[in-house]
Amino acid sequence: MIALCDEGSTEVNMSANSKVWFITGTSRGFGRVWAEAALARGDRVVATARNIGALKPIVEQYGNQVLPLELDVTDPTSAKRAVGAAVAHFGRLDVVINNAGYGLFGMVEEVSEAQAREQFDTNFFGALWVTQAALPHLRAQGSGHIIQVSSIGGVTAFPFFGIYNASKWALEGMSQALTAEVREFGVKVTLIEPMPYATDWSGPSAKQAEPMDEYDGVRTGILQMFGTMTPGDPQDSTAAMLKLVDTENPPLRAFFGNGALEAIENDYTERLSGWRGWRDVCDEAFGPN
């Protein structure tokens, strides 16, 4: 494992109340601005990225407040090493943010097997491996807050993003079960569900399936819809994130961005209507009462 500073040095002049954050995908986007917000208020941050050269500016600015570590979230061994190094360096973990992820654009029929597996390896399994690596330490200390970065696409689904949606729905299901499993150990879990933000999610890190002509009409419609939306500034999310990590009773789910609740209320109204409309038929699946 590579670090930009001496991993053996644990001399950190922070207040006793400062938190220790472990953040994946800290080179840009949400991960970067949340790391900077935590450091600016005097917290300590384990900043991880595939390429830790991108972390040099925050290391130079914040010195021993930050521990930069190379981490490939798709490798469970790499996750264990990084978490172990973080605990050895700072002595504890208070906030673990699984932020690493990327967008995969393509209709379900267009996406290749390799693309689908790579999407899940990062967006779902990456969060799983880091979560599993962190839990023994959080249980031992009797506290900690795991924050999973999901998406508005983790509670609804859009054409052209089906496999991305599936990876986030998997993260949602795992995390909802997890919160009940670890509550008695003093560990909290929150799913962040952002609306579109101006991050690298749709930039250079995004993947594109090979388009099929048959889906041109659907593709044009969805791209036009998203083209009318103004993405949020990731920097604007920092105040909400700091409030979430500081509250005694954080929610399991939290939307980031305007309009999310209204969109999901409509979605769930349609779901309930469909379930109720077919209730009599579905009840027959259990045989006569």
* pLDDT tens, the chain, 289 aa long: 334 444 333 344 455 579 999 999 999 999 999 999 999 999 999 999 999 999 999 999 999 999 999 999 999 999 999 999 999 999 999 999 999 999 999 999 999 999 999 999 999 999 999 999 999 999 999 999 999 999 999 999 999 999 999 999 999 999 999 999 999 999 999 999 998 877 766 666 789 999 999 999 999 998 888 777 777 888 999 999 999 999 999 999 999 988 888 889 999 999 999 999 999 999 888 877 6
The model carries a pTM of: 0.91
Question: What pLDDT score was predicted for residue 9?
Answer: 38
Check 168, 175, 197, 237 and give the catalytic one. Answer: 168
Checking phi first, is residue 40 left (phi over 0); if not, alpha (psi -120 to 50) or beta? alpha
DSSP per-residue codes, 80-130:
HHHHHHHHHHHS--SEEEE-----EES-TTT--HHHHHHHHIIIIIHHHHH
Q: Is residue 9 part of a domain?
A: no
Q: Is residue 15 part of a domain?
A: no
Question: What pLDDT score was predicted for residue 287?
Answer: 74
188 assigned to active site = no
Residue 79 burial by CB count (10 A; 0-12/13-18/19+): exposed, middle or buried?
buried
Q: Is residue 11 part of a domain?
A: no
Q: Is residue 7 part of a domain?
A: no
Number of folded domains that form the chain:
1
Q: Is residue 10 part of a domain?
A: no
168 assigned to active site = yes
Residue among 157, 29, 14 nearest 97 (CA): 29
Question: What pLDDT score was predicted for residue 205?
Answer: 72
CATH at 134:
3.40.50.720
Q: Is residue 286 part of a domain?
A: no
Q: Is residue 5 part of a domain?
A: no
The whole domain housing 196 covers 20-279
Q: Is residue 236 part of a domain?
A: yes
Check 19, 27, 78, 150 and give the catalytic one. Answer: 150
